[in-house]
Amino acid sequence: MKCPYCTHAETKVLDKRDTEQDAVTRRRRQCLKCEKRFTTYEHIEMVDLAVIKKEGKREQFDRQKLKTGILKACEKRPIEGEKIDELVSQIEADLLDMDSTEITSAKLGEMVMKRLKKLDKVAYIRFASVYRDFADLTEFKEELDKLLTTGKH
């Protein structure tokens, strides 16, 4: 494992933990050269899961693409990187539990929105605005009103 700071090839593992879903192993590491610490995640790579896009095209599930979309929605929000990694891992675990090896992008988007709604309302509305492709401000306002109405409990 190379250090992300100085690219030295030798590190030591300080702590190892399995996540709640046991699909991801978190390791806290320290570089033996610069002594900086960083976290790595080991997860099962899903090579046979296909995402069916709106236009019917199939593409291989890409964990990094999913994480990138979530990161964009969470940009400049007070959300720890570990929370985002945990959210991605939870979604991936749900996908592993499915009976099918295919999922529509619509269903995947709904899974993301459900989890983002619990994590951060602003990130949720950002993701929803891109995912649902709001045509105008009226659609955006309707979604925001729904969020405000359900959030008053």
31-90 pLDDT, tens digit each? 999 999 999 988 776 558 899 998 999 999 998 999 999 999 999 999 998 899 999 988
d(CA 22, CA 32): 28
| Overall pTM > 0.75 | no
* Contact predicate 31/13, CB 8 Å: no
Residue 135 above 90 pLDDT?
no
CA geometry: angle 146, 148, 151, nearest 5 deg: 105
- Mutual angle of helices 63-74 and 121-131, in 10-degree steps: 120
Give, in order, the Cα–Cα distances in Å from 26 to each of 20, 63, 115. 11, 16, 21
CA geometry: angle 142, 148, 153, nearest 5 deg: 140
pLDDT score, position 153: 42
